[in-house]
């Protein structure tokens, strides 16, 4: 059996050679910067969050390490979709891996404009609608928190976009059920659960918050149990695939995420810590499947849910 | 594809200069691209999840056998753990990262290092000493830095030392040289060290050409390859990544007042 027979999964119309996707915002958008051999087993790559107009991102400190975690306040720095399509995309489109456009917006009409621009470039693949960025004022994660506006914006996007739509949900909500159901009802092809958790760091030497925007997004292994819970909950209420994201750093955490119900996995911070992590996880999952006589990674999806009433 | 990769290395030697300052010689276990002056590596000596990320360091020297020397000041959790590394221990590195200093256009190269900022300056010295006159200027706080200042890293180098308390070399900072008119037209300046010292290099602009002052900057990093946009500094052209567009910048392009 080939690598993709064993590890391949499909999410909507997209066939992935492995269930491991590079999460938005951590990987260079210039393929000439990629260390060799790192993306060979990657299922897909999400672009940096793209907005309609260019954004300079946040001032001051942008990264702060916490025990087993990372707070970031990048603030969606990006060249704007138009420039991205003209420059980075020209190199990325032949990178040998499907590209998912992560789109972020402040006002509702901006998402319209982003989708129009993307269609006019000839791209008709998958978009990941980012309604969960915690590091910008207005828009960002406010979309996922207000269910009425989430519904309105996703319905309009669905009517416009012929390709697949993934919705990247926010963990910073009272519960994930509502936004997951809204996304499914609006015709999303998959949901990504989830983005970073809103956190705070205090610089005790300066006696003030570390970040200019005070709060920042927490990622990395520290949030793994939280994202596992959200994926478990979301897969209880929707039928569309749920892509698990948050805290994956090794084979065990990746297997756990699949067994909790995720059909695929996104990795962000884990890759910052170890460029080999995706190769290691793919090898580790294959090894686990062989040991446990499992033929396809799809059989792992939600396994813990099926088994949880079995004693022993 | 880029030349940067994650690789393992063995600690060959650790030399302590004080409680807070040591040098680590590591030998990569595989062939890596040799760094250029100004480039740096990310390093960690732990396997677990806390600390989570690599720490950036600029090599002082690259030896013929492929080993690299790093000069490390203990400032927090990561550098404390690295200090406890024994000879023979395995460490992980990522690199070589970043751009490098362009070949000098001046007639003489003045390399200024503030404290551990001297590391990439020694590296540059070795690279250029046969090509043009090079002078190394080291600024240190003073007490506690004696063993380091007398170490054989600096033997046979044209070195001048300044200390804040006057206990080592001349009293003052490397910037004293500008006040005394010891640096002038035709000199090119490369510097690395505390941000205050780098910013103050602006006072040299009357003496040397503005576009012949380069600085190597520091920022918190996660990826080291230009992906996460966590390490940006403000420049005239907007935010730029220290790990990929830098760490070497022209002095005049940095927006010092926003730093
Ligand atoms: C390009 C470059 C070259 C460097 N070269 C050297 C060198 O040759 N010798 C040397 O002693 N130091 C060097 N530094 C600084 C060194 O990286 C920090 O002192 C180190 O990361 C501190 O880690 P820590 O865990 O001990 O400190 P902590 O304060 O506990 O670190 C917490 C977090 O902040 C980051 N951080 C803290 N201080 C700095 C800093 N000054 N720069 C970047 N990140 C920081 C850490 O990496 C870590 O992610 C360099 C930094 C850069 C960016
Ligand atoms: C430095 C950094 C930048 C990020 N930028 C984006 C972004 O532009 N858009 C987005 O949807 N998520 C962004 N994220 C969130 C990640 O894609 C991911 O959802 C989150 O970090 C949790 O996964 P992890 O624990 O594997 O990192 C960013 C995360 C980090 C650490
Ligand atoms: S450390 Fe990630 S862009 Fe510089």
B75 CB within 6 A, ligand 1: yes
Q: What's the pLDDT score for residue B202?
A: 85
Q: What's the pLDDT score for residue A132?
A: 83
Distance CA A53, CA B238 (A): 15
Distance CA B113, CA B173 (A): 10
DSSP classification of residue B212: G
For residue B135, count other CB atoms closer than 10 A to its CB.
Answer: 18
Helices (H), A218-276: 224-237, 251-259, 269-273
pLDDT digit string, tens, across residues A18-45:
999 999 999 999 999 999 999 999 999 9
Q: Which ligand is nearest to the CA of A278?
A: 2
Q: Ligand 3 pocket check: which of B228, B240, B249 to mutate, most ligand atoms within 8 Å of Cβ?
A: B228
Q: What's the pLDDT score for residue A1?
A: 65
Chain B residues within an 8 Å CB radius of A249: 49
Q: What's the pLDDT score for residue A310?
A: 80
In this complex, is the C-beta atom of A134 within 8 Å of any C-beta atom belonging to chain B?
no
Chain center to CA of A78? 17
B42 CB within 6 A, ligand 3: no
Query: Which pLDDT band holds residue B132 (cuts at 50, 70, 90)?
Result: very high
Extents of the domains making up chain A: 3-57+75-198+219-311
Q: Which of A115-129, A156-170, B1-15 has the lowest mean pLDDT?
A: B1-15
Residue B212 reports pLDDT greater than 70: yes
Q: A248: closest CA among A230, A279, A222? A: A222
pLDDT digit string, tens, across residues A53-108:
999 999 999 999 999 999 999 999 999 999 999 999 999 999 999 999 999 998 88
What contacts A24, CB < 8 A, 6 or more positions away? A46, A47, A48, A49, A100, A102, A128, A130, A168, A266, A268
Percent helix, strand and coil across chain B, each to the nearest 5: 20, 35, 45
Yes or no: is domain A3-57+75-198+219-311 CATH 3.90.1010.10? no
Structure tokens belonging to residue B49: 């999840």
Chain B residues within an 8 Å CB radius of A59: 234, 258
Q: What's the pLDDT score for residue A35?
A: 94
In this complex, is the C-beta atom of A36 within 8 Å of any C-beta atom belonging to chain B?
yes
Q: What's the pLDDT score for residue A108?
A: 84
What contacts A204, CB < 8 A, 6 or more positions away? none
Cβ(A161)–Cβ(A115) under 8 Å? yes
Q: A63: nearest CA in chain B? A: B230
Q: B127: closest CA among B139, B116, B136, B137? A: B136
DSSP classification of residue A78: B
Q: Per residue in A39-77, is it b (16+ CB within 10 Å) or e — as a string?
A: bebbbbbbbbbbbbebbebbbebbbbbbebbbbbbbbbb
Distance CA A307, CA A309 (A): 6
In this complex, is the C-beta atom of A124 within 8 Å of any C-beta atom belonging to chain B?
no
Report the separation in Å between the CA atom of B55 and the middle of ligand 1, taken as the mean of its atom positions. 6
Residue B6 reports pLDDT greater than 80: yes
Residues B16-36: what's their mean pLDDT? 96
Q: Per residue in B102-123, is it b (16+ CB within 10 Å) or e — as a string?
A: eebebeebbbbbbbbbbbbbbb
Q: What is the CATH number of domain B5-97?
A: 2.40.30.10
In this complex, is the C-beta atom of B229 within 8 Å of any C-beta atom belonging to chain A?
yes
Chain center to CA of B172? 21
What is the topology classification, in CATH, of domain B108-216? Rossmann fold (3.40.50)
Chain B residues within an 8 Å CB radius of A221: 49, 52
The pTM (predicted TM-score) of the whole model is: 0.97
Q: Which ligand is nearest to the CA of B40?
A: 1
Cβ(B6)–Cβ(A276) under 8 Å? yes
Distance CA A25, CA B1 (A): 19
In this complex, is the C-beta atom of A27 within 8 Å of any C-beta atom belonging to chain B?
yes
Percent helix, strand and coil across chain A, each to the nearest 5: 35, 20, 45
Q: B15: closest CA among B159, B161, B113, B153? A: B153
Q: Give SS3 for A311.
A: coil
Distance CA A16, CA A282 (A): 13
pLDDT digit string, tens, across residues A171-200:
999 999 999 999 999 999 999 999 999 999
Query: Which pLDDT band holds residue A139 (cuts at 50, 70, 90)?
Result: low
CA distances from residue A279 to A149, B93, B151 in whole angstroms, order as listed: 40, 18, 43
Query: Which pLDDT band holds residue A145 (cuts at 50, 70, 90)?
Result: confident
Q: Cite the active site residues of A.
A: 133
Residue B144 reports pLDDT greater than 90: no
In this complex, is the C-beta atom of A170 within 8 Å of any C-beta atom belonging to chain B?
no
Helix (H) or strand (E) holding B62: strand B59-62
Cβ(A244)–Cβ(A92) under 8 Å? no
Ligand 1 atom nearest to CA at B247: 1
Chain A residues within an 8 Å CB radius of B1: 31-32, 34-36
Burial class (CB in 10 A: 0-12, 13-18, 19+), B76: exposed
Residue A155 phi/psi, 5-degree rounding, is -65, -45
Q: What's the pLDDT score for residue B3?
A: 85
For residue B36, count other CB atoms closer than 10 A to its CB.
Answer: 17
Of B1, B49, B54, the CB nearest to A36: B1
Query: Which pLDDT band holds residue A282 (cuts at 50, 70, 90)?
Result: very high
Residues B212-222: what's their mean pLDDT? 97
Q: A64: closest CA among A203, A169, A165? A: A203
Report the separation in Å between the CA atom of A63 and the middle of ligand 3, taken as the mean of its atom positions. 10
Share of chain A above pLDDT 90, in %: 89
Residue B207 reports pLDDT greater than 80: no
Extents of the domains making up chain B: 5-97, 108-216
Contact A74 B223 (CB under 8 A): no
Residues A203-219: what's their mean pLDDT? 97
Contact B239 A48 (CB under 8 A): no
Q: What's the pLDDT score for residue A51?
A: 97
Q: Is A37 left (phi over 0), alpha (psi -120 to 50) or beta?
A: left
Query: Which pLDDT band holds residue A256 (cuts at 50, 70, 90)?
Result: very high
Q: A129: closest CA among A99, A163, A90, A157? A: A157
């Amino acid at each position: 059996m080939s690598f993709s027979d064993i590890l391949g999964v499909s999410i909507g119309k997209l066939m992935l050679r492995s269930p491991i996707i590079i999460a938005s915002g951590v990987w260079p958008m210039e393929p000439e910067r990629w260390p060799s051999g790192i993306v060979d087993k990657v299922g897909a790559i999400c672009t940096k969050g793209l907005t309609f107009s260019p954004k300079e991102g946040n001032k001051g400190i942008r990264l702060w390490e916490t025990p087993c975690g990372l707070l970031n306040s990048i603030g969606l720095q990006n060249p704007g979709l138009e420039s991205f399509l003209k420059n980075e995309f020209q190199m990325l489109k032949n990178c040998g891996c499907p590209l998912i456009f992560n789109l972020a917006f402040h006002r509702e009409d901006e998402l319209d404009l982003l989708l129009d621009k993307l269609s006019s470039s000839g791209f008709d693949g998958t978009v990941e609608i980012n309604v969960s960025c915690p590091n910008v004022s207005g828009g960002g994660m406010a979309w996922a928190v207000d269910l009425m506006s989430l519904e309105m914006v996703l319905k309009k996007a669905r009517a416009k976009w012929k390709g697949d739509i993934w919705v990247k949900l926010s963990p910073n909500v009272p519960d994930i059920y509502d936004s997951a159901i809204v996304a499914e009802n609006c015709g999303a092809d998959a949901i990504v659960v989830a983005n970073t958790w809103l956190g705070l760091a205090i610089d005790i030497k300066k006696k003030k918050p570390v970040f200019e925007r005070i709060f920042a997004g927490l990622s990395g292994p520290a949030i793994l149990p939280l994202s596992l819970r959200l994926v478990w909950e979301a897969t209880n209420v929707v039928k569309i695939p749920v892509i698990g994201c948050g805290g994956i750093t090794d084979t065990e955490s990746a297997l756990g995420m699949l067994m909790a119900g995720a059909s695929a996995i996104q990795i962000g911070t884990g890759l910052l810590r170890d460029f080999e992590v995706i190769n290691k996880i793919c090898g580790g999952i294959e090894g686990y499947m062989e040991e446990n006589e499992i033929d396809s990674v799809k059989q792992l999806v939600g396994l813990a849910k099926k088994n949880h009433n079995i004693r022993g | 594809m880029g030349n940067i990769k994650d690789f393992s290395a063995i600690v060959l030697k650790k030399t302590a200069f004080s409680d807070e300052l040591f040098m680590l010689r590591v030998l990569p276990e595989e062939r890596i691209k040799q760094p250029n002056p100004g480039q740096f590596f990310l390093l960690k000596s732990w396997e677990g999840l806390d600390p989570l990320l690599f720490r950036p360091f600029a090599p002082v020297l690259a030896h013929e056998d492929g080993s690299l020397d790093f000069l490390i000041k203990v400032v927090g959790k990561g550098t404390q753990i690295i200090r406890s590394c024994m000879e023979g221990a395995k460490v992980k590195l990522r690199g070589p990262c970043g751009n490098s200093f362009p070949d000098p256009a001046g007639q003489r190269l003045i390399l200024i290092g503030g404290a551990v900022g001297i590391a990439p300056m020694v590296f540059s010295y070795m690279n250029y000493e046969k090509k043009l006159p090079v002078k190394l200027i080291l600024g240190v706080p003073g007490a506690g830095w004696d063993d380091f200042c007398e170490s054989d890293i600096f033997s046979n180098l044209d070195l001048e030392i300044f200390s804040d308390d006057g206990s080592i070399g001349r009293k003052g900072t490397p910037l004293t040289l500008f006040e005394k008119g010891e640096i002038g037209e035709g000199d090119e300046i490369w510097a690395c060290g505390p941000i205050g010292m780098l910013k103050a290099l602006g006072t040299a602009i009357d003496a040397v050409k503005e576009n012949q002052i380069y600085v190597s900057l520091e920022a918190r990093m996660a990826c080291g390859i230009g992906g996460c946009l966590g390490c940006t500094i403000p420049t005239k052209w907007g935010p730029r990544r220290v790990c990929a567009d830098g760490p070497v910048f022209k002095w005049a392009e940095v927006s010092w007042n926003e730093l």
